[in-house]
Amino acid sequence: MDINSAEFLISNTTFKKCPQNEKAEFAFIGRSNVGKSSLINMITGKKKLAKTSSTPGKTQLINHFIVNDEWYLVDLPGYGYAKASKKSRKVWEHFISEYLLHREFLLTTFVLIDSRLEPQAIDLEFMNWCGSKGIPFSIIFTKTDKLSSSALQKKLSFYKKEMLKYWEELPPVFISSSQSKLGRESILNYLQEILNSFSESRS
């Protein structure tokens, strides 16, 4: 799929104010600093589209970007930010779960996972929660440029094994690097497939 245009549209603190025009949407979620905003920039080919930072906790709102005038990519705040207070975690949980549960045209949520880390309870719990609520998701392993290919393969197979303790089958899994652009084609092809079935289902 070609990206012809990608523009920032709106930031919100509540799903209720998010755009209401029946366009397909894809969200990016995961731990703070995992690379959600960078991945949106890599996929759209616009380095400064979503704000990134080496300090965790940069993205604080629900950010809609419109792509090809046709569908949305949504950048969300991260979870598991060590310095966040209990109260702000509760606020996060509420507004993100409301968003994920109520966006009718949210076709898939990409859960981003740092490929360097061992499986983290917070990610596994989040994916289990998505499963229990019937929220379709896929996994994208990020920052793979920081690992050798053999180390990456080891991490991936360990992760998959861990997930199969909870799941009968794995969701779609992608590997990415916002630095080398690894994963861009596969992710875009996957988005195209989902968009095709979405438009077929509506015609």
**Contact residues: ligand GTP, CB under 6 A:** 32-38, 52-54, 56-59, 77-78, 142-143, 145-146, 177-179
Decide if residue 109 touches Mg ion (CB under 5 A): no
Tokens 């920039």 sit at which residue?
Answer: 41
| Backbone dihedral region for residue 45 (phi beyond 0: left; psi -120 to 50: alpha; all else: beta) | left
- Report the Cα 67 to chain-centroid distance in Å: 16
Residue 53 interface partner, choices Mg ion, ligand GTP, none, CB cut-off 5-8 Å depending on type? ligand GTP
Report, in Å, the least distance between residue 125 CB and ligand GTP. 17
Residue 177 interface partner, choices ligand GTP, Mg ion, none, CB cut-off 5-8 Å depending on type? ligand GTP
Report, in Å, the least distance between residue 143 CB and ligand GTP. 4
Of 152 and 195, which CB lies nearer to ligand GTP in the complex structure? 152
Report, in Å, the least distance between residue 151 CB and Mg ion. 25
Distance CA 161, CA 155 (A): 10
Of 138 and 178, which CB lies nearer to ligand GTP in the complex structure? 178
Of 73 and 163, which CB lies nearer to Mg ion in the complex structure? 73
Task: Single out the residue of 127, 128, 135, 95 nearest to residue 111, CA to CA.
Answer: 127
Of 97 and 167, which CB lies nearer to ligand GTP in the complex structure? 97
**Paired tokens of 163:** 């997930």
- Report the Cα 198 to chain-centroid distance in Å: 19
DSSP string, 64-76: EEEETTTEEEEE-
Residues 4-63 that bind Mg ion (CB under 5 A): 36-37, 58-59
Task: Single out the residue of 22, 12, 168 nearest to residue 99, CA to CA.
Answer: 12
Distance CA 15, CA 69 (A): 21
Residue numbers at the binding site for Mg ion (CB under 5 A): 36-37, 58-59
